[in-house]
Amino acid sequence: MAASLAAPAQISAVESPAKIPDFSGVWSHPFLTGFEPPASGPGPVLNQSRRRDGRANFQTLVGDYKNPILKPEAAATVKRYGDLSLAGKGYTTPSNQCWPGGVPYVFWDFLVQMFQTPDHIYIVYRQGAELRRVRMNQRHPAKVTPSWYGDSVGHYEGDTLVIDTVGVKKGPFAMLDMYGTPFSDKLHVVERYRLVDYDQAKDSIERNDKENIHAGLGWDFDPDYRGKVLQMQFTVEDDGVFTAPWKSSITYRPSVDPWTELICAENARDFDLKESQIPEAGKPDF
């Protein structure tokens, strides 16, 4: 099913190579469930279940279905997933079923690498073969064919990389976050990446430390590092699900650990021992 785009992404003039920031390297954000709350204004669904230290309890995922950004049907979906978790039952997500997560779901991942070329940017995530392809200085087509990570077009605004994504495909485990927040074919995500001084990102880092559990364990950063960080701020719009656009961020620091080889292997059984919906090829590759 094709999705149409009312307002194509703005295209800026191609920047000279000297002005293009270098985002190379392995960047680490080892926190569960990842999204950083904004300083003010509408933000993402957060976990109502809390540990003793006040951080989100990853062992019990209970999304705040009363978040005013959620329309009634979306709130009911988030509540349904939370009730399952409170009852001690797991539920399927893209990552635990080895399906592509789409955006912004995939932003939770602990490690990311970016490969920049004049025509494309390739973004690779740690969880299995999670790869995004961003076409530079292009427009979205008039009719967007939905795909797992959507149609992403990018351009530079000075020292900022802007990525505009529409047309994210809805699979059997489609959700925007680990709390089951749904999305529609109207989903529109804009990411803005910048290299900033640690002090500029300090407030975001501290908000994240208060909200999310630090996972570490093979994909960590140096806690004493005070150099440049890679900060990604993103905005989510979807008037089929949300009452207003909302914002969040991810602040990456250089990883002190090498890139980990991780293969997400499909399991033939899901949580209740029923047959899982393992991806199957519709036709042979060759």
Domain ranges of the chain: 20-254
- Written as one letter, the residue type at 127 is Q
Question: pLDDT, tens digit, for every residue of 78-102?
Answer: 999 999 999 998 899 998 888 888 9
- What are the φ and ψ backbone dihedral angles of 121, each rounded to 5 degrees? -125, 135
Residue whose structure tokens are 């997933």: 81
pLDDT value at 16 more than 60:
no
Using the Cα atoms of residue 179, residue 189, residue 132 and residue 279 in order, give the sign of their dihedral.
positive
Report the pLDDT value the prediction gives residue 97, as an integer from 0 to 100: 85
Determine which of 44-58, 63-77, 129-143, 259-273 has the lowest per-residue pLDDT on average. Answer: 259-273
pLDDT in tens, 227-281: 999 999 999 999 999 999 999 999 999 999 988 777 777 665 555 546 656 566 6
- Token pair 């500029």 is found at 200
pLDDT for 96 equals 86
* Residue 202, pLDDT score: 97
For 163, the 3-state DSSP assignment is strand
How confident is the prediction for the chain on average, in pLDDT?
89
Q: What percent of the chain shows pLDDT beyond 70?
A: 86
pLDDT of residue 30: 95
Q: How many CB atoms lie within 10 A of CB 276?
A: 17
| pLDDT single digits (tens) 111-153 | 999 999 999 999 999 876 689 999 999 999 999 999 999 999 9
pTM (global) more than 0.85:
yes
Average pLDDT over residues 26-34: 93
CA 178 to chain centroid: 10
The whole-number pLDDT of residue 91 equals 92
